[in-house]
Amino acid sequence: MLDDVAIKVRQNVGIVTAVLLFSILYVLYNLAHPRGFSSAVLVQNGNEIFALAMVAMAQTVPVLASGLDLSVGAVMTMVGCFASYLLTGAAAGAPLHLDIFGLHLALGTFPGGITGILLGIVLCLAIGTAAGFINGCVVVYGRIQPIIATLATGAVYIGIALFLRPTPGGKIDEDLNWALTNSLGDFAATVHIFDDGAAGWFAPIAWIPVPFVLIVLIALLVWVPFRRSVLGRAVYAVGSAEGAAYMSGLPIDRAKIAAFTLAGFFAGCGGLFLAIQTSSGNADIPQAGAYTLNSIASVVIGGTSLLGGTGSAIGSIFGAMVLRVISFFFRIFDIAPLLQPLFEGLILLAAVSIGALGVLRVKNTLELFR
């Protein structure tokens, strides 16, 4: 048994490192913070982490199949813009309309209340998932390298986002915003469950921020089952040795499409939350780019190999949190924000260097180029 544990730790050294790094940094941060270890700080951090954590999970799946997805930031942005139309919390029967270049396009009506909100959420996630599915099809059936295929589709998605929101705007249901961006207690009070959050048994967990709960739920309900499915394993197999995966009779094409589709879903979750959090839709191109690049950094810090085959979306969540915590430090220590990229870069370099140590063991140097 001890052997098994040792093997598991050795195989997941990247994730373990990311978790340790995050824990240390986050404890230090809370110690230094005047209101450290409080629910308010946690809630704020949770809101700041959520979107990047989702985009990092999104990036992980194609990377595991040894492809990069440069459209995750764009999908996030596009879904956010859709959300600013679909989640306005308008009453039942109110027309759903798009305002584009002064045109007022009516797109029919939308149910109101909780049904309307839930339908809006489902639609937003479906849009993200569809965008990912298109990416997968372009890569598999167009036989285009993922990096260039998603560069192109990403531009298209940003174009759609700009089409929807030439300037930042729209609105999000206020209750939805309040319920999802605060603590569990606030959530219960808003949706009127557990005696509006006053139930005795609920009190000990009422302080937990909703975004963290959502991250855990998405990881447990989406990522973990996927990883344990045949398709999920095929994704790992494709990234590890595509030829061997083919010879073993695995569904290679389906695995790749699934990888990009799941990436679209995760990126959609990120975009949905970002819109809810900011109560608006914003086709922010630099922000989309920054999220894409940070997602790659998170994946690497979280112990996933860019060559594919090893790693986990859980690791990437911690990678994203490490990246974010670094920026928290800048806030409390009043360091010039201009220094932030420098430190993020140094941390990324350190994380990547650990992964590169294996090169020293290679006996046939030709293998380094395969």
Partner 1 sequence: MPSVPPTQQAFLALSGISKRYAGVRALEGVDFACERGKIHAVLGENGAGKSTLIKIIAGVVQPDAGTMRLAGNEVSFASPSAANAAGVVCIFQELSLMPDLSVADNISIASPPRRFGLIDARAQRRRAEALLAEIGCEDVNPLMRARDLPLSRRQIVEIAKALGKKPQLLILDEATSALTSADVEKVYAMLARLKSEGVAILYISHRMHEVEALADRASVFRNGRHIETFDKGMRSTADIVQLMIGRDIATQYPPKPARKAGRPMLALENLSWEGRLDRISLRIGAGQIVGLGGLDGQGQKSLLLALFGVLRGVSGRVMVEDREVRAGSPAAAKAVGIALVPEDRKTEGLMLPMSIADNLAIASLGAISTGPFVDSAKEDAAVKRAIARLQIKIGAPTDPVSTLSGGNQQKVVLAKWLMTDPRIILLNDPTRGIDVGTKQELYRLMRELADQGAAILFYSTDYDELIGCCDRVAIMYDGRIVRELEGSELTETNIIASALNIDATADGGVAHA
Which residues of the chain form contacts with partner 1 (CB under 8 A)?
A: 3-4, 7-8, 11, 225, 228-230, 233, 236-237, 239-241, 244-250, 305, 308-310, 362-366
Shortest approach of partner 1 to residue 255 CB, angstroms? 12
- Count other C-beta atoms under 10 Å from residue 360's C-beta: 6
Shortest approach of partner 1 to residue 184 CB, angstroms? 29
Cα gap 59→151, rounded to integer Å: 13
* CB-nearer residue toward partner 1: 24 or 362: 362
Shortest approach of partner 1 to residue 4 CB, angstroms? 6
Shortest approach of partner 1 to residue 102 CB, angstroms? 50
Interior angle at CA 293, CA 292 and CA 297, nearest 5: 120
* CB-nearer residue toward partner 1: 199 or 352: 352
Q: Any idea which residue has 């986050």 for tokens? A: 26
* CB-nearer residue toward partner 1: 151 or 241: 241
Residue 251 gets which letter from DSSP?
A: -
* Torsions phi, psi for 13 (to 5 deg): -60, -30
Shortest approach of partner 1 to residue 334 CB, angstroms? 44
Shortest approach of partner 1 to residue 366 CB, angstroms? 5
The maximal CA–CA distance of the chain, rounded, in angstroms, is: 70
Interior angle at CA 313, CA 358 and CA 229, nearest 5: 105
* CB-nearer residue toward partner 1: 90 or 235: 235
Cα gap 367→350, rounded to integer Å: 24
Beta-strand (E) ranges in 175-307? none
Q: Any idea which residue has 């140097």 for tokens? A: 365
* CB-nearer residue toward partner 1: 188 or 314: 314
Interior angle at CA 269, CA 293 and CA 298, nearest 5: 30
Cα gap 277→271, rounded to integer Å: 10
Q: Any idea which residue has 């990069």 for tokens? A: 68
Shortest approach of partner 1 to residue 368 CB, angstroms? 10
Cα gap 280→83, rounded to integer Å: 8
Cα gap 99→106, rounded to integer Å: 9
* CB-nearer residue toward partner 1: 281 or 308: 308
* CB-nearer residue toward partner 1: 33 or 233: 233
